[in-house]
Amino acid sequence: MLRVEHVTKSFGGVVANKDISFTFEEGQIVGLIGPNGAGKSTLFNMISAIFPPTEGNIFFKDHQLNDLSTHEIVRLGISRTFQNLQVFKNMTVVENVMLGQHIHSKTGLLSAAFRWPSVRREDERAYEKAMGCLAFVGLDHLYKVKAGNLALGNLRLLELARALATEPQLLLLDEIAAGLNQKETRDMRELIKKIRDSGVSVFVVEHDMDLVMTICDKVIVLDQGEKIAEGTPKEIQNHPRVIEAYLGAEMEEEAG
């Protein structure tokens, strides 16, 4: 489904990612972990076309992604959430999610301006799809509430519902559990598995090791911009370089 081949990203003299390669099979939940500054967000941003790689290639199925725009990436079937929430606070919950359907709109500017029947039908379909996505994440009871009035946990669900409204085949989740309490994190874990079971593959960047190790089929580990390990959660937990670079540091922080 996703193929990353010898990808490097440089910002001036700073190399954020260096010669990274891996593959991602359809139907998987794959985790991407590493210490702060390891290059995880940079890699996500290249896959989602925030910026192109300096070297190497990224393929989604048969499509090379290097020079595509963000909206072209979404049309191909890749959607994402952001660590820093990107919601429209003055719009209602359902209106925010309806924006995710905009990528599939066939309405032109003229027909939209005159509110022709085709526009109304598209609006109705977008509303129905949005409500379905809200029900899927358990937020449909708040559909009329302004997004700015939601608590953090529900804001995470809102952004997730909007990403699902684009009808993705591959969903990138950037620290989706950040700031959540234990119950919300457990619920998010089950929701991610539910998304995978619905036919959407999931690629997740996350600092919550329990979440990653309990739901992922495969884990990729970055350190200082380079891939240092790739394997099953059990293999990663026992990998000497991972323990040294990441898991060991996490355990030292907890002990301290």
Phi, psi of 56 (to 5 degrees): 90, 180
**228, two tokens:** 């240092």
Residues 6+ apart with CB under 8 A from 203: 2, 24, 29, 30, 32, 44, 47, 170, 171, 172, 173
Other Cβ atoms less than 10 A from the Cβ of 161: the count is: 27
Burial 43-64 (b: 16+ CB within 10 A, else e): bbbbbbbeeebeebebebeeee
Q: Residue 33 forms beta bridges with which residues? A: 221
In the numeric block, which tokens belong to residue 233?
């959660």
Judge contact between 19 and 67, C-beta under 8 A.
Answer: no
Quick check: 133 and 97 in contact, CB under 8 A?
A: yes
Q: What is the pLDDT of residues 56-98, one digit of tens each?
A: 999 999 899 999 999 899 999 999 998 888 889 999 999 999 9
Q: Model confidence over 15-43: pLDDT tens digits?
A: 999 999 999 999 999 999 998 889 999 99
Q: Locate 95 and state its tokens.
A: 């209106």
pLDDT of the residue at 180: 94
Task: Convert the pLDDT of each residue in 107-158 to its tens digit.
Answer: 544 444 445 455 677 778 889 999 999 999 999 999 999 999 999 999 999 9
When the pLDDT of each residue in the chain is averaged and rounded to a whole number, the result is: 89
In this structure, of 4-18, 170-184, 195-209, 242-256, the range with the lowest mean pLDDT score is 242-256
Q: Where does the chain have alpha helices with state H?
A: 40-47, 70-76, 93-98, 109-113, 117-137, 152-165, 182-197, 209-215, 233-237, 240-242, 248-255
pLDDT band at 248 (very low <50, low <70, confident <90, very high): low
Which of helix, strand or coil describes residue 161? helix
Give the residue from 197, 237, 193, 240 showing the smallest Cα distance to 213.
237
Task: Give the C-alpha distances (Å, rounded to integers) separating 79 from 14, 161, 172, 173.
Answer: 27, 11, 6, 9
Structure confidence at residue 200 (pLDDT): 97
Burial 214-240 (b: 16+ CB within 10 A, else e): ebbbbbbbbbebbbbbbeebeebeebe
**Structural domains of the chain ordered from first start:** 1-77+169-256 (3.40.50.300), 87-167 (no CATH)
